[in-house]
Copies of this chain bind each other. A is one copy, B any other.
Amino acid sequence: MSQSVDPAFEARLGQAAARMEEGLTAALSGTSPLLAGAPERLLAAMRHGSLDGGKRLRPFLVEESAALFGADDATAGPVAQALECVHCYSLIHDDLPAMDDDDLRRGRPTVHKAYDEATAILAGDALLTLAFGLVAEGDGGIEPAARLALIRLLSREAGAAGMAGGQALDLAAETTTLDEAEIARMQAMKTGALIAFATEAGAILAGASPADRRVMRRYGEVVGLAFQLADDLLDETADAATLGKAAGKDAARGKKTLPALRGIAWTRAELERLVAEAEGLLEPFGERAETLRATARFVARRSK
């Protein structure tokens, strides 16, 4: 396996995360037309669940995929923020007592612990609702027809046929044993759908051709597969101190993962196969796609 740390890439990812933090802070300030007049406590819960958190991989993929086709960060930004709102709403709801029942997220109390359960449900609902407004809101840069395509795609990938459906299948897996194909389907929906949205959305908002849009969709699917596999591998092999969250959680809950079924050696080989597929998909774009190639390597080889 090649070197897993790429300082130039990680610096770029960090800068994008800082920009995303600024953009989300503004979007959630409560002074935008979409939120003016909202109750302060609900806004605070929405901020608690979405600001100051995570690698911001999904919005990074939106912006980098858009950049590949010539759209700048100012154009891609609101779509990237919207996607991060959807991701964060899903974490808030997944953490609820009726779902995964987690008290901590990124080292801080989850929203229902910091506020209360009802507020956490509503904060998630409101972030999801905001997301669609953000995609519809921007002025200029993106054609109206492309904005509508983005909204349809986000509705599909985040909804019952995508992320929400994947979470439903994941919950069902606590009481039944999934086979490999069922695990793959669940993960493609629960984690893969939003990552594939990210890269396809970048292509759509930048006005890429249908053929390029399909390539970017497949690239996102491959990155999503690698993301989940690396996550499951870390859950099997890393300790809690490295992860910043409990390790071995899947096994403790009786959830089967592909690394558990196939072994660690198979998983490492599969991750490298996915990196090679992602790199191959991006080859026609040459040097311009280097950051996206580095993203695939980063996702597959990260150690936390």
Interface residues of A (CB under 8 A from B): 33-39, 41-43, 46, 89, 93, 96, 98-99, 116-119, 121-122, 124-126, 128-130, 132-137, 144-145, 147-149, 151-152, 154-156, 158-161, 164-165, 167-169, 171-172, 189
CB-CB under 8 A from A132, the residues of chain B are 132, 151, 154-155
Instruction: Provide the bound-state CA to CA distance between A132 and B93, in Å.
Output: 19
Inter-chain contact A136/B159, CB cutoff 8 Å: no
Inter-chain contact A168/B133, CB cutoff 8 Å: no
CB-CB under 8 A from A145, the residues of chain B are 144
Given A42-B168, A125-B159; 16 other pairs, CB 8 A cutoff:
A33-B152, A33-B156, A34-B159, A38-B159, A38-B161, A43-B160, A121-B121, A122-B171, A125-B164, A126-B160, A129-B158, A132-B151, A132-B154, A133-B152, A135-B151, A147-B148
- The minimal Cβ–Cβ distance linking A159 to chain B, given in whole angstroms, is 4
Given A118-B98, A118-B99, A144-B148, A155–B34 Cβ distance below 8 Å?
yes
Given A38-B165, A39-B168, A169-B39, A129–B155 Cβ distance below 8 Å?
yes
Choose among B98, B122, B160, B161 the residue that contacts A164 (Cβ–Cβ < 8 A).
B122
The 5 closest A-B pairs by CB, nearest first: A133-B155, A98-B117, A38-B160, A129-B159, A144-B144
CB-CB under 8 A from A126, the residues of chain B are 159-160, 164-165
- The minimal Cβ–Cβ distance linking A172 to chain B, given in whole angstroms, is 7
Inter-chain contact B136/A148, CB cutoff 8 Å: yes
Instruction: Provide the bound-state CA to CA distance between A93 and B93, in Å.
Output: 12
- The minimal Cβ–Cβ distance linking A100 to chain B, given in whole angstroms, is 9
Instruction: Provide the bound-state CA to CA distance between A35 and B164, in Å.
Output: 11
Inter-chain contact A161/B128, CB cutoff 8 Å: no
Given A128-B128, A145-B144, A164-B129, A118–B171 Cβ distance below 8 Å?
yes
